[in-house]
Amino acid sequence: MSSAFFNGHVNTQIPGSMKYLLLLIVIGIVSCDPTPREDFAFMGYAPVYATGQSATAISNEAIRSTTHPGKIYAYGSYLFQVEQNEGIHIIDNSNLQQAKKISFLKIPGCSELAIRNNYLYSNNLNDLIVFDLSNLTAPQLVNRLENAFPQFSQSYPPFSGVYFECPDPSKGVVIAWEQKSLSSAKCRR
């Protein structure tokens, strides 16, 4: 043994390359992400499914409250607000003191919108859909371009660092994610 050890001193200098190795080991240990145990509940995300025709079913509905607000688009004296993954609120904004919802356009998987020349463009999951806005209380679907957005994926929630139930394609198409208490979730993003 060295005499430094016997004199009550220990050489604490660590070579440079060894410092980086120790740092990587510590980071690896701290960032370990064990799979949650199945004997307790925790908050995570569960997929909301639609099957076949219901995933592409578009309808005009009565007004409803906004719960998952998204983008807002102003067109003339109207506002169009995305309800994430559910559709578009149509709002009469001609009286700036009292904006008033006039209808709701149900569009599963809706996340985007644009308007040009009295036509509303939106997405219905991977499809591009076009509505004629001549009657704002009941816009008419006039065109659908299937699979226009092939990169649109609902295979995981739009959040990072969360646990979620792995999607099961046999249950249908994932059109949204809802936060809820989970007892088992094998997936993490």
54: in domain = yes
Identify which of 127, 112, 104 has the alpha carbon closest to the alpha carbon of residue 73: 112
Token digits for 120? 């509303």
Q: Is 14 part of a structural domain of the chain?
A: no
Q: Is the full-model pTM beyond 0.85?
A: no
- The total number of structural domains that make up the chain: 1
Nearest partner of 147 among 72, 66, 56, 62, judged by Cα = 56
Domain that holds residue 56: 37-189
* CATH, residue 167: 2.40.10.480
Which amino acid is located at 149 in the chain? F
Q: Which two tokens stand for residue 129?
A: 């859909």
Digitized pLDDT (tens) for each residue of the chain, 189 residues in all: 554 444 555 555 666 666 666 655 655 554 444 554 455 677 888 888 877 777 888 999 999 999 999 999 999 999 999 999 899 999 999 998 999 999 999 999 899 999 999 999 999 988 999 999 999 989 999 999 998 887 666 788 877 888 899 888 888 888 788 888 888 778 888
Please check whether residue 27 lies inside any domain of the structure: no
Q: What is the CA radius of gyration of the chain?
A: 26
